[in-house]
Chains A and B, each alone.
Chain A
Amino acid sequence: MRKKDKNLWIYREAKQVTKKDKFIYSVLFVAGILSIIRFGEWWFRAEHVRSLFLYILLSMTIWYGIIRIVLIWVNYLKIKKPETKTPVKGLSVAIFTTSSPGEPLSMFEKTLAACAKIKYPHTTYLLDDTQDIRFKEVAEKNGAVWFELVGLPGAKAGKVNKALEMTKEDFILILDPDHIPFPDFLDKTLGYFEDEKIGFVQVSQAYYNQYRSFTAKGAAEQTYTFYGPTMMGLYGHESNVAIGANCVFRRKALESIGGHGIGLAEDLITAIRLHAAGWKSVFSPIIVSRGLVPEDFGSFCKQQLKWSRGLFEVLFAELPRLFKKLNFWQRISYLSISSYYIVGVTTFFYILLPFLFFWADILPTNMPFNEFIIYGAPIIIIAIIIYLFVQRWLCHPEKERGIHWRGMILKFASWPVFFLGALLGVVNAEIPYIPTAKKAVSGLSPYVRPLIFQVIIFILTLTYVFYNRIFLLPEWQLDLTSEQVWGMVGFSSLSIIMILGGIYAAFESRNLKPEEPWEKIKINEIGRKL
């Protein structure tokens, strides 16, 4: 790979969507759907039921996963990239970035310096509640306006709403403080507002600290597809989401919904409300800033807990209220986004299944293992092909392509967190707002405990299985139970491998030296074209 291909600080954009691409994708789509129909035709048979209760539970688990796959495939059908538009001169633009107690000052020096370098005329505002005078100094040094906004409810969104009252600009870029914008950020985004209907323009989120750890790499991998093909599909279905960072809003749009939404998923809430109020939006798959991804396992889990709780809030509180005002695809998209973290519950069941068999000799179904694989394999194969195929629309394919195994491991190993988020969501319990850590937090995260517990149980169970089969099991029971037992051992080993990956990430995080990755960035070299 050429060095230029790897450079993170160059402007990047996803490839155009051609007719040929669309055709190839449609073929894959049809094949995928057929493989699912074939699987479904096999799955739902009365003769497969052994324990009806567990069969239903397993069916819901499997089909929850399959329905999500279908939704994402449908999403890709409408993949779309907006044409670039140069903005007219003279628009009035504000950049809002927020600072909170505990956030490192040196990071703001970089971010604010980069904001000052943005070419399109604008005013940068630092919305500050650190009560630390040095933040004011840094803001003023970089030509930014400093607002002291202390004690407002609703964390970041509260400050944004207050600042909206205090300013007049027609367009507001909300930038997370860890995101370092490229000079042409506004030139690449403002043009879309030429259409009066456009309420916000979202661009990709990209990161620059992946190199720091397994967790950081995994967390970044989880986002690559999302900020490329997935969001492009959502855009095609007119059901974009705002991500909080890197989003430019039209003031009129925000005001029409009473300001920026507040809550743990404030960005998604805002996007849904804007669409419900009839605004349109743009997602542009371009990289015009780079920020930070959680570096240690604990911070990653905290971020996920926050998101999962927030998304359930959207599912239970926001969506039902606005459901009637959304169009069909917006409903589907927002439902599927906000129910994403149910995966914590289904993963829990996947993990429990083999143990139920080993401990209590309970099996949900009479399905022969081989048939399950025969019917399931085509779905998996097509899913992988589609996953690799849509990677042509990643924003930075040279860097981002791959099977993203670290991301998968991290997702699987976060199941206790998702599970907790789901429980909190259903019983409507609160969790406090936790800002995602900007620097690595050392020490072993408590979120790894359920994973270690799971591995211990697995080892004990496996020891028992070996002991039992070698010494205890009567010889006449050996052959007839062999396939089931070793099939189950194989099945549970798969999840244990993933869990071990998560534990590795947590232990690696323990020794991670807190570092300030932004120190290495040379502001003057950012954002040149290829």
Chain B
Amino acid sequence: MKRTIKRFLSTTSAIILGVIIILLLTFAGNKSNGPLEDLFIKISNQVINVENKIVMLKRRPVRKKALSWFDKYRENKSLFSHPDTIFTGIYDNHYKKSFDNIITLEKSLNLTVQFIHIYTAWGSNTEQRFPYRYAKAIYNLGSTPFITWEPWLNDFDRDEHPELPDKAKCNKNGLKAIANGTYDFYLEKWAEDVKRFGEIIFIRFAHEMNDPYRYPWGPQNNNPKDFIAAWRHVVDYFKKAKVDNVVWVWSPHPAYKNYNDFYPGNDYVDWIGVGCLNYGNVASWSRWWTFKDIFGNYYEMLSSFDKPIAITEFSSLSVGGNRSKWYEDALTDIPQKYLAVKAIMFFNDSQDNTTTYKSLNWSIIGDTLTVNAIKRSFDKW
């Protein structure tokens, strides 16, 4: 008996030691990238495409059918320059795992949205490459990918690119570096992938570039002229690489009113994007703002560029006011007062940690009052 116990104990302690070693190694490791990556990404995308084709042969693609009216737009970029309708879209923070939430929201709103909005950052990791898989999945469902593309410069692997400025310093004049071609290696891959994807996508690059308190590409680190140069460099780079399936969305923060300093020019911008988030009274700096407060007051200036406007984040929290009324007012005003608005994207983020210390829930899934208010407003369009 004693020997059996001893034996059992020695087996157990060997296992525990193994666990400790693995834990130590795991939480001390760092990141880097592999060379055969391209090939395997291509293979895996091929698997997805082939399966989709085979399976959909036998099925009626319900969602795609519902969006068949949208096909003429997404197959012809010029129809996006002065659209004759207002498009809708959704961002959902679970999109990487599944689109279930998006579909749930659509069903509750009795709506099939034309854009699915996703965010992606610059950097060396696999998920920081062009999100081909998601773009393809969105396209296969009948929609168009709307991609907010954030130039975070400190996420590039310095071992792979020793020529890049130090992580601590790279944000200072980072846009100038982009304009000078320092990050062309990254643009090259992206442009190549976008071209290979082939379908029309919306790219909203370096949004809220005029807000000095938010992103590293803001005016606290950069001269507005450098923003313009960087933007033009990126757009020109895509053009030079013969990538012509991109609709470029220039997206300033409306409250600063200094957009003109950052405007790259009519030839470089296709759409204008504006975030419209009502934080209610969750923070000391916020109060219950109406849609007019956030957007309407700046509409005149924004529409002066004579470009279609997308409300890229359209959402209100529920603390501090009447949420359903907020939506109803906004959606009633848009087709009547703000005629340049051509797209509205619901911001269905149930765990937004980016602005306040606590996680904010922007999702309207399950908020029957709001959902019904939105439906009522859409019925009047």
Contacts and interface: CB of A to CB of B under 8 A. Distances in A.
B100 A44 contact: no
Given A469-B55, A480-B98, A45 B43 contact: no
A316 interface: yes
Contacts, number: 122
A60 interface: yes
A475 B126 contact: no
B25 interface: yes
Q: Is the interface of A mostly helix, strand, loop or mixed?
A: helix
A371 interface: yes
A452 interface: no
A530 interface: no
Given A475-B62, A475-B63, A478-B52, A45 B26 contact: yes
A479 B331 CA distance: 33
B137 interface: yes
Contacts of A167: none
B41 A370 contact: yes
Given A373-B40, A474-B103, A44 B22 contact: yes
A320 B9 CA distance: 14
Interface string B135-154: 01100110000000000000
B136 A479 contact: yes
B34 A374 contact: yes
A42 to B, nearest CB: 7
Interface residues of A, number: 42
B58 A40 contact: no
B3 interface: yes
Q: Is the interface of B mostly helix, strand, loop or mixed?
A: helix
B232 interface: no
Contact of B43 (A40, A41, A370, A480): A370
Contacts of A479: 48, 52, 133, 136-137, 140
Given A40-B25, A426-B8, A475-B141, A480 B99 contact: yes
Interface residues of B, number: 53
Contact of B26 (A49, A373, A469, A483): A49
B3 A428 contact: yes
Contact of A48 (B26, B36, B62): B26
Interface centre among A40, A44, A373, A426 (most CB of B within 10 A): A44
Interface string A313-356: 00010001000000000000000000000000000000000000
A82 B43 CA distance: 51
A44 B141 contact: no
Contacts of B15: 60
A49 B23 CA distance: 10
A482 B58 contact: no
Interface string A423-455: 000111000000000000000000000000000
Contacts of B10: 316, 320
Interface in A385-404: none
B31 A470 contact: no
B366 interface: no
A48 B126 CA distance: 13
Contact of B58 (A42, A60, A470, A480): A470
A405 interface: no
B32 A41 contact: yes
Interface string A48-82: 11000001100110010000000000000000000
15 contacts: A42-B34, A44-B28, A45-B31, A56-B23, A316-B7, A370-B40, A370-B43, A426-B8, A428-B3, A470-B55, A476-B98, A479-B133, A482-B51, A482-B52, A486-B47
Interface of A: 40-49, 55-56, 59-60, 63, 316, 320, 368-371, 373-375, 377, 426-428, 469-470, 474-483, 486-487
Given A371-B40, A478-B55, 11 more contacts: A41-B30, A44-B22, A44-B25, A56-B19, A369-B44, A426-B7, A426-B8, A426-B11, A476-B100, A479-B140, A482-B52
